[in-house]
Amino acid sequence: MSEGSLVLVVLATTLAAWLLFFLFLRARPGAAPEIEDTLLRPSQQERTPRLVVEDASGVTRRQFLNRAYLAGVAVALSNFALASLDFLWPRSSGGYGGKIVMGDAVQLRNQLDATRTPILNTDTDVLPPGIALMTYEGTPQAAEAIPAYVLANTANTGFVALYRKCVHLGCTVPFCTSSKWFECPCHGSKYSINGEYRAGPAPRSLDRFKVDIVGGRVVVDTATVITGPPRGTVTSQPQPEGPHCVTISGA
Ligand code: FES
């Protein structure tokens, strides 16, 4: 259930609860009147005429307030239950925490090999700042030797899906089209086109997600973030291919 649909459901539930409440009030024209002076002292009760305040439907003010209170509690509980349900609802497809279909595998491979510019997924509703899809530029043998690549299914698919969150302090990492590296603007960490650590304060390579080819389409599973390979991992692109976009002394 998306955030927008949850808001609509909560609003609809709230309105429906209040509507039912008022219909309930109107549906009881013969409700018994209620004495309003029960808090008066006995002597006052003797002197004071019995006062009954009710509207045309036979509902006293006290009954109205009691029912309004109960209706409010019911609405609050139902909203809480819906919010809990949304939190626990399994997200089996689409969005972060689920599987994202990136597109036809052959077309994506052709596009990425031609442009050598990762495709960014900016569907950042739940887990910003999104992913970057790129073809793997090392050899399958190199990928099979590195646990993070094995977990990400890199050798089998030929794709890498990087989590664009800098593993230093979490900034979004843009792709620099001149160096063809990912370069973090915050403190200057740099990663290769496949997200391998190259420079700066980052403790490791970029984290990533498992990729599968399903029915000829590239599917990225964002349910689990795979910790990036350690510093010193160089399976492709050891050097930048042009000027850096981010230049920070010491990085
Ligand atoms: S957050 Fe990216 S280098 Fe610090």
Indicate the range of 40-49, 136-145, 180-189, 240-249 predicted with least confidence.
Answer: 40-49
| Three-point CA angle 223, 234, 178, nearest 5° | 85
- Rounded to two decimals, the pTM is 0.64
Q: Is the pLDDT of residue 7 over 70?
A: no
SS3 (DSSP) at 101: strand
Contact call for residues 195 and 166 (beta carbons, < 8 A)? no
Q: Is the pLDDT of residue 236 over 70?
A: yes
Q: Is the pLDDT of residue 217 over 70?
A: yes
What is the whole-number distance in angstroms between the Cα of residue 249 and the centre of ligand 1? 13
- In this structure, are 120 and 165 located in the same domain? yes
Output the ligand 1 site: residues, CB below 6 A.
166, 168-171, 184, 186-189, 200-202
- In this structure, are 39 and 137 located in the same domain? no
Contact call for residues 184 and 218 (beta carbons, < 8 A)? no
Tally the residues of the chain. Answer: 251
- Considering only CA atoms, which of 104, 76, 100 is closest in space to residue 14? 76
Per-residue pLDDT, 226: 96
Domain that holds residue 42: 3-88
What is the whole-number distance in angstroms between the Cα of residue 4 and the centre of ligand 1? 32
What would the DSSP string read from start to end of 13-55? Answer: HHHHHHHHHHHHHHT-TTPPP--S-TTS-HHHHHHSPP---B-
- In this structure, are 131 and 217 located in the same domain? yes
- Considering only CA atoms, which of 172, 86, 190 is closest in space to residue 124? 172
Q: Say which residue, 1 or 151, is predicted with more confidence.
A: 151
- In this structure, are 119 and 151 located in the same domain? yes
